[in-house]
Structure 1
Amino acid sequence: MTEAYAPNKRMKKVHLSDKARAALILKWVFLGGMIVFTLYPVIYTVLGSFKTNAELTQGGGFFPSVWHFENYYKAFIQADFTKYTLNSVVVSVSVTILAVATTSLAGFAMARKDFAGKKILLALYMSMMFVSLGSVTLYPIYELLRALKINKTMFALVIALTGGQATNVFLVMGFTKGIPRELDEAAIIDGCSIYGVYSRIILPLSKPILAVVALFSFRNAWNDYITSLIMTISIPKLQTLTVAVVQLKYSVNSAAEWHIMLAGASIAIIPILIVYMFSNKQFIAGLTAGAVKG
């Protein structure tokens, strides 16, 4: 009886092992396909930036036949991408700082304070997360900035890009709710005001989620095209790198210079990739904590 049962048991184990192996292979095939689809455009852009214009338009090989590093020199010097890169850095860093400051304050108030109209405000924030107005809001925003007579400054672009932080506010609010209120009470007993509780207790403990907010804000500001185009359409010297790369396609002298465009696109892609490579662990940790707490 035991001998007859043993082979069946072994066969069952082998069968389960085959299913597990098939599932593992399927998982890696899926992940490999996702990696290829994600990285291929980036790799093609970077490699294409070292090709000649003729090689790009005539459909040469995947790798450059000759590596033309001078494409980057032409992009920086002839197309003046140095100025546009500096504009992007200034705008993105400013938006990041302003977004972290405003979302941390808003999230703290939403999580810790009860005030008139809080539920209505939360409902409005929630609606902004699921209803994307997109470019519909650009005209009234531009008109408001024009009425304030700041529409022709870089500050106007920073203000416009800092808006729409509903998702980040909810992330910070959820994280703050996970911080014990006993810490607030102990700080108040020790003589801290509400601002002291925010700056000395909540802010230091919220660093993981604020890192996520900073990364989201920097990425959105760096990659933005429509808002930056609208805000700088009459002031070319304030254009960001993303706008400058696309505008290069429509300029009279550079309409067909795809190699310069790809060099500019690579300049725009590489910084955000470097930022993510060095901060991806903090990004995942902070995002997970913000999603679970509260």
Structure 2
Amino acid sequence: MNSNLWHRHRLKAWHLLLIPFCLVWVYPFVWMISASVKSQREMLLGGISLIPDDWTWENFERAWTTARFGDYTMNTVTYSVTVVALVLLVSSLAGYALSRKDLPGKKVLVGVLVVTMFIPHGYTIIPTFLLVNGLGLNNGLLGATFAQAGPALVVPVLLFMGFFGGIPKELEEAARVDGAGYPRTFFRIMLPLAKPVIGTVALMQFISAWNAFFIPLVFTLGRPDLRTLGVGMYNFFGQNASDWTGLAAGACIAVIPIIVVFLFLQRTFVEGIAGAVKS
């Protein structure tokens, strides 16, 4: 009994020590929300105060209409959802194939995948641009989607490979005895079992695509109307001045969908990571 009591007191002590670190980590996000409803003058001269003297909701209206965040939000939703769909389809199929122990050249393929993880995007953007431009998909969201989804496949493929490799082979053999081919076995049996990994990959890729800046910037230079939120943030920076409160309001608009998606998939995310690592 005394041991349990001592353990509880130790946990409470750790919690008390960690609370200040938590507040330091959360403060910038809270300040961003506070700045989004302040006037420009109060934000610049108000110091670290979080409570606005004058609540200025026009910042959100200016971000949504003047900075065209309404259009950019729809572009970003289309862009992010398409990237997630492409990555899930390709990485799940590749992970399923690579999980087979009798696959010829498996070690070489996995080794190449791991090596590509260490190549910076700056070195691959030129060949990616030339490829997308050669397909006639430049200056459009579809080309940007392919450019974003292609280099993002390595970690999802490894996650799916680890998960599928841990599923008993007898399950596939039973499906084959019942007359199911490889496509039917994959889409009807294996893929539904991989829901935790699907949720993990979907969350990772959605956040990455939603926050993407470099690739959407390069592939929509000729079509400003197709910009995503990450690129659209630059509308608040003028030649002689910057709209900081509008930028804070725009950042709030951009962050809300990520928080909603993360809260919806957080349990699946943890289960998927744990399942893939365990396998």
Q: 1:187-206 alignment to 2 at 5 Å?
A: 187-206=175-194
1:239 to partner: Cα distance = 0.8
Compared CA separation, residues 152 and 176, structure 1 to 2 (3 A)? same
Matched, 1:256 2:222: no
Tell me if structure 2 keeps the 8 A contact 1:242–1:265.
Answer: no
Structure 1 stretches of 4+ with a deviation exceeding 6 A read none
2: CA distance, partners of 1:36 / 1:220: 26
1: CA distance, partners of 2:100 / 2:112: 18
**Corresponding residue for residue 22 of structure 2:** 35
Among candidates 28, 35, 43, match of residue 48 of structure 1: 35
Tell me if structure 2 keeps the 8 A contact 1:108–1:176.
Answer: yes
2: CA distance, partners of 1:274 / 1:260: 22
1:188 to partner: Cα distance = 0.5
Among candidates 138, 141, 166, match of residue 154 of structure 2: 166
1:25 to partner: Cα distance = 4.8
Matched, 1:136 2:123: yes
Over aligned residue pairs, what C-alpha RMSD do you find? 2.1
SS in 1 for 2:93: helix
**Corresponding residue for residue 214 of structure 1:** 202
SS in 2 for 1:114: coil
1:194 to partner: Cα distance = 0.8
Compared CA separation, residues 159 and 113, structure 1 to 2 (3 A)? farther
2: CA distance, partners of 1:181 / 1:106: 17
Amino acid at match of 2:209: A
| TM-score normalized with structure 2 length | 0.92
1:118 to partner: Cα distance = 2.2
**Corresponding residue for residue 137 of structure 2:** 150
2: CA distance, partners of 1:145 / 1:213: 24
| TM-score normalized with structure 1 length | 0.87
Amino acid at match of 1:204: P
Once the two structures are aligned, what percentage of the paired residues are identical? 35
Matched, 1:277 2:266: no
Amino acid at match of 2:208: N
Compared CA separation, residues 113 and 234, structure 1 to 2 (3 A)? farther
2: CA distance, partners of 1:66 / 1:132: 48
2: CA distance, partners of 1:76 / 1:119: 50
**Corresponding residue for residue 71 of structure 2:** 83
**Corresponding residue for residue 107 of structure 2:** 119
Tell me if structure 1 keeps the 8 A contact 2:200–2:265.
Answer: no
1: CA distance, partners of 2:73 / 2:29: 19
**Corresponding residue for residue 8 of structure 1:** none
**Corresponding residue for residue 107 of structure 1:** 95
Among candidates 265, 270, 273, match of residue 287 of structure 1: 273
Structure 1 portions without partners, runs of 5+ = 1-12
2: CA distance, partners of 1:37 / 1:141: 40
SS in 1 for 2:99: helix
Amino acid at match of 1:133: P
Matched, 1:93 2:98: no
Structure with larger Rg: 1
1:84 to partner: Cα distance = 0.5
Residues paired across the two proteins, number: 277
Amino acid at match of 1:282: T
Tell me if structure 1 keeps the 8 A contact 2:67–2:236.
Answer: no
Q: Structure 1, residues 64-87: CA drift from partner, whole Å, max 9, x if none? A: 112111211111111111000111
